[in-house]
Structure 1
Amino acid sequence: MIKKTLLILSAFVFITIFSGCDTLNQVAQTAGGALGNPSAFEIASALKEALQQGTNKSSDKLSATNGYFGNALVKILFPPEAQKAEQALRAIGLNSLCDNVILSLNRAAEDAAKEAKPIFINSLKQLTLQDATNILFGGEDAATQYFYRTTLNQLKEKFRPVINNSLSKVGATKYYGDVVTAYNKIPLVSTKLNPDLSDYVTQKAIEGLFKEIGKEEINIRQNLSARSTTLMQKVFGYADTKK
Protein backbone atom coordinates (compact mmCIF):
# COMPACT_ATOMS: atom_id res chain seq x y z
CA MET A 1 0.00 0.00 0.00
CA ILE A 2 2.80 2.37 0.93
CA LYS A 3 4.72 1.47 -2.25
CA LYS A 4 1.60 2.10 -4.34
CA THR A 5 1.08 5.48 -2.67
CA LEU A 6 4.72 6.45 -3.31
CA LEU A 7 4.42 5.45 -6.96
CA ILE A 8 1.32 7.59 -7.36
CA LEU A 9 3.01 10.56 -5.67
CA SER A 10 6.12 10.14 -7.82
CA ALA A 11 4.03 10.05 -10.97
CA PHE A 12 2.16 13.18 -9.85
CA VAL A 13 5.42 15.07 -9.16
CA PHE A 14 6.86 13.94 -12.51
CA ILE A 15 3.78 15.14 -14.43
CA THR A 16 3.66 18.40 -12.48
CA ILE A 17 7.33 19.20 -13.15
CA PHE A 18 7.13 18.53 -16.88
CA SER A 19 3.78 20.22 -17.18
CA GLY A 20 5.35 23.25 -15.52
CA CYS A 21 8.25 23.19 -17.98
CA ASP A 22 5.86 23.06 -20.90
CA THR A 23 3.90 25.96 -19.47
CA LEU A 24 7.02 28.06 -18.98
CA ASN A 25 8.15 27.25 -22.49
CA GLN A 26 4.78 28.23 -23.89
CA VAL A 27 4.81 31.53 -22.00
CA ALA A 28 8.31 32.30 -23.23
CA GLN A 29 7.38 31.50 -26.80
CA THR A 30 4.20 33.55 -26.79
CA ALA A 31 6.01 36.54 -25.19
CA GLY A 32 3.39 38.71 -23.64
CA GLY A 33 0.81 35.98 -23.32
CA ALA A 34 -0.63 36.45 -26.81
CA LEU A 35 -1.87 33.13 -28.20
CA GLY A 36 -1.89 31.98 -31.81
CA ASN A 37 0.14 32.94 -34.84
CA PRO A 38 -0.25 36.57 -35.99
CA SER A 39 -1.83 37.34 -39.33
CA ALA A 40 0.04 39.27 -42.04
CA PHE A 41 -2.03 42.32 -41.14
CA GLU A 42 -1.11 42.00 -37.46
CA ILE A 43 2.56 41.69 -38.37
CA ALA A 44 2.38 44.85 -40.47
CA SER A 45 0.50 46.74 -37.76
CA ALA A 46 2.92 45.65 -35.04
CA LEU A 47 5.92 46.57 -37.16
CA LYS A 48 4.47 50.02 -37.76
CA GLU A 49 3.97 50.46 -34.03
CA ALA A 50 7.51 49.33 -33.30
CA LEU A 51 9.06 51.44 -36.04
CA GLN A 52 7.17 54.53 -34.99
CA GLN A 53 8.16 53.96 -31.37
CA GLY A 54 11.81 53.54 -32.30
CA THR A 55 12.05 56.51 -34.66
CA ASN A 56 10.11 58.85 -32.38
CA LYS A 57 12.30 57.96 -29.43
CA SER A 58 15.49 58.39 -31.48
CA SER A 59 14.42 61.72 -32.97
CA ASP A 60 13.30 63.08 -29.59
CA LYS A 61 16.52 61.99 -27.92
CA LEU A 62 18.84 63.50 -30.52
CA SER A 63 16.90 66.73 -31.03
CA ALA A 64 17.11 67.57 -27.31
CA THR A 65 19.86 69.83 -26.02
CA ASN A 66 23.06 67.75 -25.88
CA GLY A 67 21.33 64.98 -27.85
CA TYR A 68 24.41 64.74 -30.06
CA PHE A 69 26.94 66.68 -28.00
CA GLY A 70 26.38 64.61 -24.86
CA ASN A 71 26.25 61.24 -26.60
CA ALA A 72 29.67 59.71 -27.28
CA LEU A 73 28.18 57.31 -29.83
CA VAL A 74 27.05 60.10 -32.18
CA LYS A 75 28.98 63.21 -31.08
CA ILE A 76 30.29 65.13 -34.08
CA LEU A 77 33.96 66.02 -33.99
CA PHE A 78 36.19 67.93 -36.38
CA PRO A 79 36.12 66.64 -39.97
CA PRO A 80 38.93 64.09 -40.49
CA GLU A 81 40.80 66.41 -42.82
CA ALA A 82 40.71 69.14 -40.14
CA GLN A 83 41.80 67.09 -37.14
CA LYS A 84 45.45 67.86 -37.80
CA ALA A 85 44.51 71.54 -37.78
CA GLU A 86 42.66 71.05 -34.46
CA GLN A 87 45.76 69.49 -32.90
CA ALA A 88 47.96 72.32 -34.18
CA LEU A 89 45.59 75.01 -32.90
CA ARG A 90 45.22 73.39 -29.47
CA ALA A 91 48.99 73.18 -29.29
CA ILE A 92 49.22 76.98 -29.58
CA GLY A 93 46.52 77.61 -26.97
CA LEU A 94 43.36 77.93 -29.09
CA ASN A 95 41.40 75.28 -27.16
CA SER A 96 38.36 77.49 -26.67
CA LEU A 97 38.05 78.14 -30.41
CA CYS A 98 38.21 74.41 -31.15
CA ASP A 99 35.69 73.62 -28.39
CA ASN A 100 33.28 76.19 -29.80
CA VAL A 101 33.46 74.56 -33.22
CA ILE A 102 32.63 71.10 -31.83
CA LEU A 103 29.75 72.39 -29.72
CA SER A 104 28.26 74.35 -32.61
CA LEU A 105 28.46 71.38 -35.00
CA ASN A 106 26.46 69.28 -32.58
CA ARG A 107 23.92 72.04 -31.94
CA ALA A 108 23.29 72.20 -35.68
CA ALA A 109 22.72 68.44 -35.81
CA GLU A 110 20.31 68.66 -32.85
CA ASP A 111 18.30 71.28 -34.73
CA ALA A 112 18.16 69.09 -37.83
CA ALA A 113 17.02 65.98 -35.94
CA LYS A 114 13.69 67.70 -35.25
CA GLU A 115 12.88 67.39 -38.95
CA ALA A 116 13.17 63.60 -39.07
CA LYS A 117 9.78 62.51 -37.70
CA PRO A 118 7.56 63.49 -40.66
CA ILE A 119 9.94 61.74 -43.05
CA PHE A 120 9.80 58.50 -41.08
CA ILE A 121 6.02 58.73 -40.77
CA ASN A 122 5.74 59.05 -44.55
CA SER A 123 7.97 56.01 -44.98
CA LEU A 124 5.76 53.98 -42.62
CA LYS A 125 2.70 54.81 -44.72
CA GLN A 126 4.36 53.04 -47.63
CA LEU A 127 5.21 49.88 -45.65
CA THR A 128 3.74 46.82 -47.38
CA LEU A 129 2.76 43.48 -45.81
CA GLN A 130 5.79 41.90 -47.48
CA ASP A 131 8.07 44.66 -46.17
CA ALA A 132 6.79 44.00 -42.66
CA THR A 133 7.41 40.25 -42.87
CA ASN A 134 10.89 40.81 -44.30
CA ILE A 135 11.71 43.22 -41.48
CA LEU A 136 10.34 40.96 -38.74
CA PHE A 137 12.46 37.99 -39.82
CA GLY A 138 15.29 39.87 -41.51
CA GLY A 139 17.75 40.20 -38.63
CA GLU A 140 18.41 42.66 -35.83
CA ASP A 141 18.96 45.68 -38.10
CA ALA A 142 16.35 44.94 -40.79
CA ALA A 143 14.09 47.83 -39.76
CA THR A 144 17.01 50.25 -39.62
CA GLN A 145 18.11 49.18 -43.09
CA TYR A 146 14.55 49.64 -44.38
CA PHE A 147 14.48 53.21 -43.12
CA TYR A 148 17.95 53.87 -44.51
CA ARG A 149 16.84 52.75 -47.99
CA THR A 150 13.55 54.61 -47.96
CA THR A 151 14.44 57.88 -46.23
CA LEU A 152 18.12 58.69 -46.83
CA ASN A 153 17.64 61.04 -49.77
CA GLN A 154 14.73 62.84 -48.10
CA LEU A 155 16.70 63.23 -44.88
CA LYS A 156 19.63 64.77 -46.77
CA GLU A 157 17.30 67.15 -48.58
CA LYS A 158 15.55 68.16 -45.36
CA PHE A 159 18.58 68.27 -43.07
CA ARG A 160 20.94 70.30 -45.24
CA PRO A 161 19.06 73.64 -45.26
CA VAL A 162 18.28 73.31 -41.55
CA ILE A 163 21.93 72.62 -40.82
CA ASN A 164 23.02 75.53 -43.04
CA ASN A 165 20.78 77.89 -41.09
CA SER A 166 21.75 76.40 -37.76
CA LEU A 167 25.48 76.54 -38.47
CA SER A 168 25.10 80.27 -38.96
CA LYS A 169 22.73 80.69 -36.01
CA VAL A 170 24.94 78.92 -33.48
CA GLY A 171 28.13 80.46 -34.82
CA ALA A 172 29.67 77.33 -36.34
CA THR A 173 30.33 79.03 -39.66
CA LYS A 174 32.20 81.85 -37.93
CA TYR A 175 34.05 79.59 -35.48
CA TYR A 176 35.13 77.14 -38.15
CA GLY A 177 36.01 80.00 -40.48
CA ASP A 178 38.22 81.37 -37.71
CA VAL A 179 39.83 77.95 -37.32
CA VAL A 180 40.49 77.71 -41.05
CA THR A 181 41.92 81.22 -41.14
CA ALA A 182 44.14 80.63 -38.11
CA TYR A 183 45.40 77.30 -39.39
CA ASN A 184 46.00 78.48 -42.93
CA LYS A 185 48.17 81.28 -41.52
CA ILE A 186 50.47 78.86 -39.71
CA PRO A 187 53.85 78.91 -41.50
CA LEU A 188 54.68 75.91 -43.69
CA VAL A 189 51.09 74.59 -43.79
CA SER A 190 50.96 72.77 -47.11
CA THR A 191 47.27 71.76 -47.24
CA LYS A 192 44.71 74.51 -46.90
CA LEU A 193 41.35 73.71 -45.28
CA ASN A 194 37.97 74.08 -46.92
CA PRO A 195 35.63 76.09 -44.66
CA ASP A 196 32.42 74.40 -45.97
CA LEU A 197 30.86 72.32 -43.18
CA SER A 198 27.33 71.66 -44.43
CA ASP A 199 27.89 68.35 -46.20
CA TYR A 200 29.99 66.97 -43.38
CA VAL A 201 27.56 67.87 -40.58
CA THR A 202 24.57 66.64 -42.62
CA GLN A 203 26.26 63.28 -43.16
CA LYS A 204 27.27 62.89 -39.52
CA ALA A 205 23.84 63.97 -38.24
CA ILE A 206 22.13 61.32 -40.38
CA GLU A 207 24.66 58.66 -39.41
CA GLY A 208 24.01 59.42 -35.74
CA LEU A 209 20.26 59.23 -36.24
CA PHE A 210 20.48 55.76 -37.77
CA LYS A 211 22.80 54.59 -34.99
CA GLU A 212 20.14 55.54 -32.45
CA ILE A 213 17.37 53.89 -34.49
CA GLY A 214 19.50 50.75 -34.64
CA LYS A 215 19.84 50.73 -30.86
CA GLU A 216 16.08 51.09 -30.43
CA GLU A 217 15.42 48.26 -32.88
CA ILE A 218 17.71 45.89 -30.99
CA ASN A 219 16.05 46.92 -27.73
CA ILE A 220 12.58 46.03 -29.03
CA ARG A 221 13.78 42.74 -30.48
CA GLN A 222 15.65 41.63 -27.36
CA ASN A 223 13.71 43.09 -24.42
CA LEU A 224 10.11 42.12 -23.68
CA SER A 225 9.62 45.28 -21.63
CA ALA A 226 10.34 47.43 -24.71
CA ARG A 227 7.33 45.98 -26.54
CA SER A 228 4.85 48.58 -25.42
CA THR A 229 1.61 47.20 -26.91
CA THR A 230 -0.15 43.84 -26.80
CA LEU A 231 0.15 43.52 -30.57
CA MET A 232 3.90 44.14 -30.49
CA GLN A 233 4.22 41.52 -27.74
CA LYS A 234 2.30 38.99 -29.80
CA VAL A 235 4.15 39.57 -33.07
CA PHE A 236 7.67 39.82 -31.68
CA GLY A 237 6.94 36.94 -29.33
CA TYR A 238 6.00 34.89 -32.40
CA ALA A 239 9.26 35.98 -34.08
CA ASP A 240 11.16 34.81 -30.98
CA THR A 241 9.86 31.27 -31.51
CA LYS A 242 11.29 31.24 -35.04
CA LYS A 243 14.85 32.02 -34.02
Structure 2
Amino acid sequence: MFTRLASALLVAGLLATAAPAAHAQTTAAKKAAAAKAAAAKTAAAKKAAADKAAAAAKAAAATKAAAAKAAAATPATPPPAPLTESQASAGIKEALNKGIVKAVEFASEPDGFNLNDDIHIPVPPDLEVVKSTVGRLPGMTTVFTQFETQLNRAAEAAAPKAKDIFLNALANISITDALSLVTSSSTDAATQFLRKSTQAQLISAFHPDIEAAIDQVGAGRAYATITDKYNKIPLMTPVNMSLADYTTQKAVDGLFILLANEEAKIRKNPAARTSDILKSVFGRK
Protein backbone atom coordinates (compact mmCIF):
# COMPACT_ATOMS: atom_id res chain seq x y z
CA MET A 1 0.00 0.00 0.00
CA PHE A 2 2.80 2.37 0.97
CA THR A 3 4.69 1.56 -2.18
CA ARG A 4 1.69 2.43 -4.36
CA LEU A 5 1.20 5.75 -2.59
CA ALA A 6 4.84 6.67 -3.03
CA SER A 7 4.73 5.84 -6.70
CA ALA A 8 1.65 8.00 -7.17
CA LEU A 9 3.28 10.91 -5.43
CA LEU A 10 6.40 10.52 -7.56
CA VAL A 11 4.41 10.54 -10.78
CA ALA A 12 2.43 13.62 -9.70
CA GLY A 13 5.68 15.45 -8.91
CA LEU A 14 7.16 14.59 -12.25
CA LEU A 15 4.04 15.82 -14.05
CA ALA A 16 4.02 19.09 -12.12
CA THR A 17 7.66 19.71 -13.08
CA ALA A 18 7.18 18.83 -16.73
CA ALA A 19 4.15 21.13 -17.30
CA PRO A 20 5.99 24.52 -16.98
CA ALA A 21 8.87 23.26 -19.07
CA ALA A 22 6.50 22.18 -21.84
CA HIS A 23 4.68 25.53 -21.70
CA ALA A 24 7.96 27.46 -21.95
CA GLN A 25 9.04 25.33 -24.86
CA THR A 26 5.75 26.03 -26.70
CA THR A 27 6.02 29.83 -26.12
CA ALA A 28 9.58 29.89 -27.41
CA ALA A 29 8.51 28.00 -30.49
CA LYS A 30 5.72 30.49 -31.17
CA LYS A 31 8.10 33.44 -30.79
CA ALA A 32 10.58 31.86 -33.13
CA ALA A 33 7.86 31.22 -35.70
CA ALA A 34 6.60 34.82 -35.43
CA ALA A 35 10.12 36.22 -35.84
CA LYS A 36 10.69 34.02 -38.84
CA ALA A 37 7.40 35.21 -40.41
CA ALA A 38 8.27 38.88 -39.75
CA ALA A 39 11.71 38.41 -41.29
CA ALA A 40 10.16 36.77 -44.33
CA LYS A 41 7.64 39.64 -44.67
CA THR A 42 10.40 42.27 -44.42
CA ALA A 43 12.48 40.45 -46.98
CA ALA A 44 9.49 40.25 -49.32
CA ALA A 45 8.80 44.01 -48.91
CA LYS A 46 12.45 44.86 -49.63
CA LYS A 47 12.40 42.66 -52.72
CA ALA A 48 9.16 44.29 -53.96
CA ALA A 49 10.64 47.77 -53.44
CA ALA A 50 13.84 46.79 -55.22
CA ASP A 51 11.86 45.30 -58.10
CA LYS A 52 9.74 48.49 -58.37
CA ALA A 53 12.84 50.73 -58.36
CA ALA A 54 14.49 48.58 -60.98
CA ALA A 55 11.36 48.75 -63.18
CA ALA A 56 11.19 52.55 -62.81
CA ALA A 57 14.86 52.90 -63.69
CA LYS A 58 14.39 50.65 -66.70
CA ALA A 59 11.38 52.69 -67.86
CA ALA A 60 13.24 55.99 -67.41
CA ALA A 61 16.20 54.66 -69.36
CA ALA A 62 13.88 53.51 -72.14
CA THR A 63 12.16 56.92 -72.27
CA LYS A 64 15.49 58.72 -72.37
CA ALA A 65 16.75 56.43 -75.12
CA ALA A 66 13.56 56.97 -77.13
CA ALA A 67 13.83 60.76 -76.74
CA ALA A 68 17.45 60.69 -77.81
CA LYS A 69 16.57 58.56 -80.81
CA ALA A 70 13.74 60.91 -81.78
CA ALA A 71 15.99 63.96 -81.39
CA ALA A 72 18.62 62.34 -83.56
CA ALA A 73 16.03 61.48 -86.19
CA THR A 74 14.46 64.98 -86.25
CA PRO A 75 16.57 67.59 -88.00
CA ALA A 76 17.17 70.85 -86.10
CA THR A 77 14.84 73.73 -87.05
CA PRO A 78 16.88 76.18 -89.06
CA PRO A 79 16.86 79.83 -87.91
CA PRO A 80 14.58 82.16 -89.89
CA ALA A 81 16.11 83.74 -92.94
CA PRO A 82 17.32 87.33 -92.44
CA LEU A 83 14.66 89.96 -92.97
CA THR A 84 14.95 91.44 -96.44
CA GLU A 85 14.56 95.13 -97.20
CA SER A 86 11.48 94.45 -99.31
CA GLN A 87 9.85 92.51 -96.46
CA ALA A 88 10.68 95.31 -94.03
CA SER A 89 9.22 97.89 -96.38
CA ALA A 90 6.01 95.91 -96.89
CA GLY A 91 5.68 95.21 -93.17
CA ILE A 92 6.22 98.76 -91.92
CA LYS A 93 3.89 100.20 -94.56
CA GLU A 94 1.15 97.74 -93.73
CA ALA A 95 1.56 98.41 -90.01
CA LEU A 96 1.32 102.15 -90.56
CA ASN A 97 -1.57 101.79 -92.98
CA LYS A 98 -3.50 99.75 -90.45
CA GLY A 99 -2.67 102.19 -87.65
CA ILE A 100 -3.61 105.23 -89.75
CA VAL A 101 -7.02 103.85 -90.68
CA LYS A 102 -7.84 102.97 -87.07
CA ALA A 103 -6.50 106.23 -85.61
CA VAL A 104 -8.38 108.46 -88.05
CA GLU A 105 -11.62 106.47 -87.70
CA PHE A 106 -11.43 106.65 -83.92
CA ALA A 107 -10.60 110.37 -83.82
CA SER A 108 -13.42 111.16 -86.26
CA GLU A 109 -16.12 109.52 -84.16
CA PRO A 110 -18.36 111.58 -81.86
CA ASP A 111 -16.37 112.03 -78.61
CA GLY A 112 -13.30 110.52 -80.28
CA PHE A 113 -11.32 113.41 -78.81
CA ASN A 114 -13.72 114.61 -76.17
CA LEU A 115 -13.96 111.41 -74.09
CA ASN A 116 -10.44 110.08 -74.67
CA ASP A 117 -8.14 111.05 -71.81
CA ASP A 118 -5.09 110.54 -74.03
CA ILE A 119 -6.07 113.15 -76.63
CA HIS A 120 -8.80 115.26 -75.03
CA ILE A 121 -8.21 118.96 -75.78
CA PRO A 122 -8.42 121.05 -72.59
CA VAL A 123 -9.08 124.76 -72.22
CA PRO A 124 -6.00 126.59 -73.57
CA PRO A 125 -3.41 127.37 -70.87
CA ASP A 126 -3.72 131.09 -71.66
CA LEU A 127 -7.33 130.92 -70.50
CA GLU A 128 -6.64 129.26 -67.15
CA VAL A 129 -6.21 132.65 -65.48
CA VAL A 130 -9.37 133.83 -67.19
CA LYS A 131 -11.20 130.73 -65.99
CA SER A 132 -10.13 131.26 -62.38
CA THR A 133 -11.27 134.90 -62.58
CA VAL A 134 -14.57 134.89 -64.48
CA GLY A 135 -15.44 131.23 -63.93
CA ARG A 136 -17.11 132.22 -60.66
CA LEU A 137 -19.59 134.52 -62.41
CA PRO A 138 -23.13 133.17 -62.86
CA GLY A 139 -23.40 130.84 -65.82
CA MET A 140 -19.71 130.94 -66.71
CA THR A 141 -18.96 127.40 -65.52
CA THR A 142 -21.40 126.10 -68.10
CA VAL A 143 -19.87 128.37 -70.76
CA PHE A 144 -16.37 126.98 -70.07
CA THR A 145 -17.61 123.37 -70.14
CA GLN A 146 -19.36 123.90 -73.44
CA PHE A 147 -16.36 125.74 -74.83
CA GLU A 148 -13.99 122.84 -74.04
CA THR A 149 -16.37 120.32 -75.58
CA GLN A 150 -16.66 122.45 -78.71
CA LEU A 151 -12.87 122.54 -79.18
CA ASN A 152 -12.89 118.74 -79.20
CA ARG A 153 -15.80 118.68 -81.60
CA ALA A 154 -13.80 120.86 -84.00
CA ALA A 155 -10.88 118.39 -83.87
CA GLU A 156 -13.23 115.45 -84.49
CA ALA A 157 -14.69 117.23 -87.52
CA ALA A 158 -11.27 117.88 -89.07
CA ALA A 159 -9.72 114.45 -88.33
CA PRO A 160 -10.84 112.63 -91.53
CA LYS A 161 -8.66 114.93 -93.64
CA ALA A 162 -5.54 113.36 -92.09
CA LYS A 163 -6.09 109.96 -93.70
CA ASP A 164 -5.00 110.84 -97.24
CA ILE A 165 -2.07 112.93 -96.01
CA PHE A 166 -0.81 110.01 -93.92
CA LEU A 167 -1.31 107.41 -96.63
CA ASN A 168 0.42 109.51 -99.27
CA ALA A 169 3.40 109.90 -96.95
CA LEU A 170 3.88 106.13 -96.78
CA ALA A 171 5.20 106.23 -100.35
CA ASN A 172 8.11 108.37 -99.16
CA ILE A 173 9.44 105.74 -96.76
CA SER A 174 12.55 104.32 -98.39
CA ILE A 175 13.49 100.67 -98.19
CA THR A 176 16.53 101.52 -96.08
CA ASP A 177 14.42 103.59 -93.68
CA ALA A 178 11.88 100.78 -93.47
CA LEU A 179 14.48 98.22 -92.37
CA SER A 180 15.75 100.61 -89.71
CA LEU A 181 12.23 101.30 -88.44
CA VAL A 182 11.29 97.62 -88.25
CA THR A 183 14.37 96.70 -86.23
CA SER A 184 14.11 99.71 -83.90
CA SER A 185 13.58 98.99 -80.20
CA SER A 186 11.23 101.97 -79.97
CA THR A 187 7.54 101.05 -80.05
CA ASP A 188 6.64 104.24 -81.96
CA ALA A 189 9.65 104.58 -84.28
CA ALA A 190 7.54 104.54 -87.46
CA THR A 191 5.04 107.03 -86.02
CA GLN A 192 7.79 109.50 -85.13
CA PHE A 193 9.32 109.08 -88.58
CA LEU A 194 5.95 109.82 -90.15
CA ARG A 195 5.46 112.81 -87.87
CA LYS A 196 8.63 114.47 -89.11
CA SER A 197 7.49 114.19 -92.70
CA THR A 198 3.80 115.04 -92.32
CA GLN A 199 3.29 117.32 -89.31
CA ALA A 200 3.72 120.62 -91.19
CA GLN A 201 1.44 119.42 -93.98
CA LEU A 202 -1.20 118.26 -91.51
CA ILE A 203 -1.20 121.58 -89.68
CA SER A 204 -1.53 123.46 -92.94
CA ALA A 205 -4.39 121.24 -94.09
CA PHE A 206 -6.16 121.15 -90.73
CA HIS A 207 -6.06 124.85 -89.92
CA PRO A 208 -8.82 126.07 -92.28
CA ASP A 209 -11.05 123.14 -91.35
CA ILE A 210 -10.46 123.66 -87.63
CA GLU A 211 -11.14 127.38 -87.99
CA ALA A 212 -14.41 126.69 -89.81
CA ALA A 213 -15.37 124.00 -87.31
CA ILE A 214 -14.70 126.31 -84.36
CA ASP A 215 -17.28 128.75 -85.71
CA GLN A 216 -19.66 125.99 -86.73
CA VAL A 217 -19.77 124.24 -83.34
CA GLY A 218 -20.01 127.52 -81.42
CA ALA A 219 -16.55 127.57 -79.84
CA GLY A 220 -15.87 131.03 -81.32
CA ARG A 221 -18.97 132.48 -79.68
CA ALA A 222 -18.14 130.84 -76.36
CA TYR A 223 -14.60 132.22 -76.54
CA ALA A 224 -15.93 135.72 -77.27
CA THR A 225 -18.28 135.49 -74.28
CA ILE A 226 -15.42 134.44 -72.00
CA THR A 227 -12.89 137.02 -73.16
CA ASP A 228 -15.40 139.86 -73.23
CA LYS A 229 -16.19 139.27 -69.56
CA TYR A 230 -12.51 139.07 -68.67
CA ASN A 231 -11.27 141.99 -70.77
CA LYS A 232 -13.79 144.32 -69.13
CA ILE A 233 -12.22 143.76 -65.71
CA PRO A 234 -10.10 146.82 -64.85
CA LEU A 235 -6.29 146.45 -64.89
CA MET A 236 -6.42 143.03 -66.56
CA THR A 237 -4.25 142.39 -69.61
CA PRO A 238 -6.63 141.68 -72.50
CA VAL A 239 -6.65 138.09 -73.78
CA ASN A 240 -6.60 137.51 -77.50
CA MET A 241 -5.28 134.17 -78.70
CA SER A 242 -5.81 132.08 -81.83
CA LEU A 243 -8.16 129.25 -81.03
CA ALA A 244 -7.57 127.78 -84.48
CA ASP A 245 -3.78 127.59 -83.95
CA TYR A 246 -4.17 125.99 -80.53
CA THR A 247 -6.83 123.48 -81.56
CA THR A 248 -5.07 122.54 -84.80
CA GLN A 249 -1.84 121.66 -82.98
CA LYS A 250 -3.71 119.67 -80.35
CA ALA A 251 -5.69 117.80 -83.01
CA VAL A 252 -2.51 116.84 -84.88
CA ASP A 253 -0.84 115.79 -81.63
CA GLY A 254 -3.83 113.59 -80.81
CA LEU A 255 -3.70 111.78 -84.15
CA PHE A 256 -0.05 110.91 -83.66
CA ILE A 257 -0.78 109.66 -80.14
CA LEU A 258 -3.44 107.32 -81.51
CA LEU A 259 -1.15 106.17 -84.32
CA ALA A 260 1.68 105.47 -81.87
CA ASN A 261 -0.69 103.36 -79.77
CA GLU A 262 -1.65 101.28 -82.80
CA GLU A 263 1.99 100.79 -83.80
CA ALA A 264 2.88 99.66 -80.27
CA LYS A 265 0.10 97.05 -80.36
CA ILE A 266 1.48 95.51 -83.56
CA ARG A 267 5.01 95.47 -82.20
CA LYS A 268 4.13 93.99 -78.80
CA ASN A 269 0.93 92.00 -79.23
CA PRO A 270 0.91 88.99 -81.58
CA ALA A 271 -2.90 89.13 -81.75
CA ALA A 272 -2.66 92.54 -83.44
CA ARG A 273 -0.61 91.08 -86.34
CA THR A 274 -3.53 90.19 -88.53
CA SER A 275 -1.69 89.38 -91.77
CA ASP A 276 1.14 87.08 -92.83
CA ILE A 277 3.51 89.96 -93.56
CA LEU A 278 2.93 91.51 -90.12
CA LYS A 279 3.51 88.14 -88.44
CA SER A 280 6.66 87.56 -90.49
CA VAL A 281 8.15 91.02 -89.96
CA PHE A 282 7.18 91.74 -86.34
CA GLY A 283 7.09 88.20 -84.98
CA ARG A 284 10.88 87.74 -84.99
CA LYS A 285 11.68 89.36 -81.64
Task: Give, in whole Å, the separation in 2 of the partners of 1:52 and 1:206.
Answer: 17
Q: Distance in 2 between matches of 1:67 and 1:147?
A: 22
Q: In structure 2, do the counterparts of structure 1 residues 187 and 12 end up closer, same or farther at CA, with 3 Å as the change threshold?
A: farther
Q: After the TM superposition, which residues 167-206 of structure 1 pair with which residues of structure 2 at under 5 Å, given as runs? A: 167-189=214-236, 191-206=237-252
Distance in 2 (alpha carbons) for counterparts of 1:172 and 1:12: 77
Asked if the contact 1:177–1:195 (Cα under 8 Å) also holds between the matched residues in 2, the reply is no
Residue number in structure 2 paired with 1:7 = 61
CA distance in 1, matches of 2:141, 2:202: 33
> 1:182–1:16: structure 2 CA closer, same or farther, 3 Å change rule?
farther
Deviation at 1:5, TM superposition (A): 4.5
The match for 1:224 among 270, 277, 282 is: 270
1-structure distance, mates of 2:244, 2:69: 68
SS in structure 1 at match of 2:110: coil
Match for residue 206 of structure 2 among 159, 174, 191? 159
Which residue number in structure 2 is paired with residue 135 of structure 1? 181
CA deviation map 1:105-130 (0-9, x unaligned): 00111111110000011101122111
Aligned counterpart for 2:115 among listed residues 55, 66, 70 = 70
Asked if 1:41 is matched to 2:95, the reply is no
Structure 1 residue aligned with 2:131: 86
Report the RMSD for the aligned CA atoms in angstroms: 2.4
- TM-score, normalised via structure 2 length: 0.73
Unpaired runs of 5+ in structure 2?
A: 1-53
Task: Measure the CA separation in 2 of the matches of 1:69 and 1:6.
Answer: 65
Q: How far, CA to CA, are the matches of 2:177 and 2:122 in structure 1?
A: 36
1:90 CA displacement? 2.2
Give the 3-state SS of the residue equivalent to 1:114 in structure 2.
helix
Aligned length: 226
- 2 CA distance for matches of 1:5 and 1:79? 76
Residue ranges of structure 1 left out of the alignment (5+ in a row) = none
Could you say if the C-alpha distance between residues 79 and 4 of structure 1 is closer, same or farther in structure 2, counting changes exceeding 3 Å? same
Hey, what does 2:169 align to over in structure 1? 123
Q: One-letter code of the match for 2:118?
A: L
Give distance in 2, aligned partners of 1:198 and 1:5. 79
Relative to the length of structure 1, the TM-score reads: 0.85
Instruction: Find runs of 4+ consecutive structure 1 residues off by over 3 angstroms.
Output: 1-6, 10-17, 35-38
Distance in 1 (CA, whole Å) between partners of 2:220 and 2:108 is 20
Q: Larger RCO: Structure 1 or Structure 2 (Cα < 8 Å, ≥ 6 residues apart)?
A: 1
Structure 2 counterpart of 1:55: 100
Per the TM alignment, residue 14 of structure 1 is displaced from its structure 2 partner at its CA by: 7.5
Q: Distance in 2 between matches of 1:144 and 1:16?
A: 47
Distance of aligned partners of 1:71 and 1:5 in 2 relative to their CA distance in 1, 3 Å threshold: closer
**What does the per-residue CA deviation read over 1:186-216, in whole Å, with 9 as the maximum and x for residues that have no partner?**
3442x21114211111111111111111111
1:44/1:129 contact within 8 Å kept: yes
Separation in structure 1 between the aligned mates of residue 95 and residue 122 of structure 2, nearest angstrom: 31
Percent identity at matched positions? 33
**Structure 1 residues 8 and 157: alpha-carbon distance in aligned structure 2, compared to 1, 3 A threshold:** same
Match of 1:111 in 2: 157
Q: Distance in 2 between matches of 1:39 and 1:108?
A: 43
